[in-house]
Amino acid sequence: MIRRMVTNPMPQFPAGFLWGVSTSAHQIEGAADAREPSVWDVFTAEPGRVKDGSTAAVACDSYHRYPEDVALLAGLGVDAYRFSVSWPRVDSPGGLDFYDSLVDALCAAGVRPVVTLFHWDLPVALDWLERDTASRFADHVSVVAERLGDRVAKWITLNEPAEHTLLGHALGVHAPGRRLMFDALPVAHHQLLAHGLAVRALRAAGAGDIGIANSHGPTWAASEKPEDRQAAEFYDLLLNRLFSDPLLIGRYPEGIGELMPGDVEADLKVIAEPIDWYGINYYAPTRVGAPQGAEIEFGGLSLPAELPFTVREIEDRPVTDFGWPVVPEALTELLTGFAERYGDRLPPVLITENGCSYEGVDDQERIAYLDGHIRALHRAVEAGVDVRGYFVWSLLDNFEWAEGYARRFGLVHTDFETLERTPKASYAWLRDLLRAQR
Ligand code: FCB
């Protein structure tokens, strides 16, 4: 008997919908010897910080191999490529020349450059606990905008300030490796302030089309019990609303503003500087319940027992190699929830990251993941959410932070010995999907 897979055709997205893929500097560039160090170089050099003991000194060597990567982007047929500029590289002699050549190569290949101005690789001399880092960031942004502004299609100020605060400064599992717990809150405030100052710096340099890439996901209470609902509410406040409320409605969720440093009211005016679109990185929802008094393992993390919530398993769902549950419909829920909460204050949305880690080049699980999530996204569009684009994380297998090279998120396989790139089944699948969308 011949078994045939019957799949419904992918529905059409609105004309002008922007399809892209994302990467970040520290995760793909390598050539660490050609720039000043970042907090990630220091962190990875410390024994035990990265699971496989690796560093990103070479990574995918995209610094040298970018023409090959641009050819892969062109072959894929994406409209846009989201990459980040490394702040320490921009500060190093010749650093901006590299981005200048990359941007030229993208434009020549008909791929629009979407630039993230900070994706976690802070210069070692700087510290987000210091307010001054926000103005230093605005200076960095002006320098980059000055040089690349004539060709960049869209600007992203920051990538996931929530993760950078939580993982890097509260739990200490990412660089700079601090374990400050709730004393890490100023790091969130200073990044948000940096975002607002960066928006102003970009506009002053004549650049438009500005957004941010914030990570968001629905929070599901473990049960209807008041203690579980309360814990879930708190988690949602900390990981979602703390970062979207100030940007979109110019205030912190109740009880948070008092914990922030400086003249918070004045800063909020800067933070809420209007943006042209709002970027969301979505991977999975989180089920949250009341604290259980013991350290728990979650998605590769050990969460301390003293937190006022615990993250619980989402049962009956497939999980990726990272252990993240695969729940496409939560993307629809997230977007319709956002539209409801923020109404007119929500600018058009772009999904700036979505993807999964799986082994293998015949990556049928990744195809299933992306297919499910793109359909879920379409349902949000049908429900009236103004979504204008979708970026897959990631073009290439790369250095996945504290996981090292153990997690493969790429549409293209990277051999980390030879640096050879091999497109996976998902690359061909996405290429065909994009052709059918045109
Ligand atoms: C996001 C990060 C990105 C990548 C993916 C898997 O949180 O922004 O750099 O590591 O997760």
* Catalytic residue chosen out of the listed positions 160, 273, 365, 400: 160
List CB contacts of 245: < 8 A, sequence separation 6 or more. 251, 252, 253
Centroid of ligand 1 to alpha carbon of 97 (angstroms): 26
Q: What percent of the chain has pLDDT over 90?
A: 95
Atom nearest to 400 CA in ligand 1: 10
Q: What are phi and psi of 421, to 5 degrees?
A: -105, 130
Q: pLDDT tens across 85-143, in order?
A: 999 999 999 999 999 999 999 999 999 999 999 999 999 999 999 999 999 999 999 99
**Is 417 known to be catalytic?**
no
Q: pLDDT tens across 51-84, in order?
A: 999 999 999 999 999 999 999 999 999 999 999 9
What value does the mean pLDDT of the chain take?
A: 96
Residues with CB under 6 A from ligand 1: 24, 27, 159-160, 163, 215, 281, 353, 393, 400-401, 409
Residue found by looking up tokens 């990103």 in the block: 56
CB 69 within 8 A of CB 25: no
Centroid of ligand 1 to alpha carbon of 4 (angstroms): 35
Specify the range with the lowest mean pLDDT, choosing from 3-17, 271-285, 365-379, 398-412.
3-17
Element (H, E) at 158: strand 154-159
Q: From CA 65, how far away is CA 121, in angstroms rounded? A: 21
What is the secondary structure of 276-294 as a DSSP string? S-EEEE----EEEES--SS
Assess whether pLDDT exceeds 80 at residue 294.
no
pLDDT at 1: 40
Atom nearest to 215 CA in ligand 1: 7
The packing angle between helices 264-271 and 242-249, to 10°, is: 80
Atom nearest to 322 CA in ligand 1: 6
Nearest to 65 by CA among 395, 409, 426: 395
* Catalytic residue chosen out of the listed positions 36, 273, 353, 365: 353
What value does the mean pLDDT take over residues 328-355?
A: 98
For the domain spanning 18-437, the CATH number is 3.20.20.80
End-to-end CA distance of the chain: 35
> Which tokens go with 414?
């990277």
Centroid of ligand 1 to alpha carbon of 234 (angstroms): 23
Q: From CA 412, how far away is CA 431, in angstroms rounded? A: 12
Question: Using 50, 70 and 90 to split pLDDT, how confident is the model at 3?
Answer: very low
Q: Domain limits of the chain?
A: 18-437
- What distance lies between CA 396 and its chain's CA centroid? 15
Q: From CA 276, how far away is CA 278, in angstroms rounded? A: 7
Q: What are phi and psi of 341, to 5 degrees?
A: -65, -40
81 strand-pairing partners: 21, 113
Centroid of ligand 1 to alpha carbon of 274 (angstroms): 25
